[in-house]
Amino acid sequence: MLRFMCVGDSMTIGSAGEHTWRHRMWLHLRATGTDCAFVGPRTALHGGGHAYADPDFPQAHFAGWGEGWQHMAPAIADAVTETRADVLLISLGLIDLGFYTNAEQTAENVRRFVTEARTADQALRMVVLPVIPNIRAESDAPFAAQVAHFNTLLAKVVADLDEPRSPLLLASVPDSYDIHTDTYDGTHPNASGEHKLAASFANALHQAWGIGAPYAAPLSLA
C-alpha cells in the first residue's frame, strides 16, 4: 500500500462545501485499482470544520490556509514520521511569494523542505507542482515575474535534489488552466480546477513511476 500525503496551502486544504483536489485524486487512484491510503496530521477544511461536499473519503492531509514552504519545511519531518507517508504531493509557493519571501528565498526553503523530509524517510518520493496561474499575477507584473522566476528555480532545485533512492518529480501546470473558468475567485480552484490539479499529479505519477493511470476527464463537474 502506498501512503500519500497532500501538502499545500489554501488551494489544497479547501473550504466548506468543496470536494478539494485531494478528493478528486483519491477517487482517481481508487478507480485505477491503486492500493493506497491518504495520510496526514490534519483532516479539517479551512476554519476547522469538516463540511466536505462529499465527506466519504480519507480526509487526512498536511495543508493550511496561508501556509507556504517556509512554514512546512520545519514541520515536514515530524509529519512524515508520524504518518509514515511514502509519497508527498506538494502544492506550495504562492503564499511565500505573495507575503513572505522572494523567489530565491522560496527556492532555498524548498531545498530545506526536501532535506528535512528525507531525515524522516530516506526513500521518500515527492511530486511538486509549480505555482499555478493566479489573479495577482495577472494584474501585478512584478509579482508575475517573481512567480515565473521561482518556477524556473524550482525546476533547478528538483533536478539538483532528485536521486534514485528518493526521487523528486516536477509536475506540470495544466496547459488549459484558466483562472476565469477553473477558480471561483481567481486563485482557489472550483470543480474543474480541482480536477485539473488532480490530473497534474496523477499524470506525473503515471508517466514517471507507473502509478495509477492517466487522469480520466470527468463526465460531470459536480
User: Which tens digit of pLDDT belongs to each residue from 173-217?
Assistant: 988 999 999 999 999 999 999 999 999 999 999 999 999 999 997
| pLDDT for 220 | 64
What the block records as the C-alpha cell of 209 is 513511476
CA distance 214 to 198: 11
| pLDDT for 219 | 59
Strand-pairing partners, residue 28, are none
CA distance 87 to 205: 10
State which H helix or E strand residue 143 sits in: helix 141-161
Q: Using the 8-state DSSP alphabet, how is residue 188 labeled? A: S
CA 106 to chain CA centroid, Å, is 16
CA distance 155 to 137: 19
For 155-165, letters b (16+ CB in 10 Å) and e give: eebbeebeeee
What the block records as the C-alpha cell of 122 is 530516506
CA distance 110 to 102: 12
| pLDDT for 218 | 76
Per-residue pLDDT 10s for the chain (222 aa) are 999 999 999 999 999 999 999 999 999 999 999 999 999 999 999 999 999 999 999 999 999 999 999 999 999 999 999 999 999 999 999 999 999 999 999 999 999 999 999 999 999 999 999 999 999 999 999 999 999 999 999 999 999 999 999 999 999 998 899 999 999 999 999 999 999 999 999 999 999 999 999 999 775 676
